[in-house]
Amino acid sequence: MGFSLLDIISGYENLIIVDSILTGEKEPGYIYEMKIEELLEGDLKPAHYAGIPDLYLLAKKINIPFPEKVLILAVEVKDPFEIKEEFSDEIKSKISEIEKKVEERIKEFLIT
């Protein structure tokens, strides 16, 4: 979480991130595909100490290698701030569909 993630991803050519997002614009389970540039322009508030845009900007500023090819998949959720062991009922009922879509998109990403 936060800036420590930069140590993990630095030096890789490809980066795939699957995370949750709360926009209130779509139903829970909807999968957004985003680019870092969109996150830089947007007004999203990370639930973590630092978000991907923060890591990207820091890496560029202090010359830390950042993956050139990035896939960000964000799954709409109802409440990203509630911490529990299980998925919400809304996500649980769609988990197979979400997994299938995420897996398909990751395969496409890795092929291109």
CA–CA separation, 23 and 77 (whole Å): 8
- Asked if 21 and 75 touch (Cβ cutoff 8 Å), the reply is yes
Closest CA to 22 of 76, 90, 72: 76
pLDDT digits (tens, 9 = 90+) for 13-43: 999 999 888 889 999 999 999 988 887 776 6
Rounded to two decimals, what is the model's pTM? 0.82
pLDDT digits (tens, 9 = 90+) for 41-77: 766 655 554 578 888 889 999 999 999 999 999 999 9
Domain boundaries, the chain: 4-111
Domain 4-111 top-level CATH class = alpha beta
Angle, alpha carbons 75-85-14 (nearest 5°): 40
- Asked if 12 and 71 touch (Cβ cutoff 8 Å), the reply is no
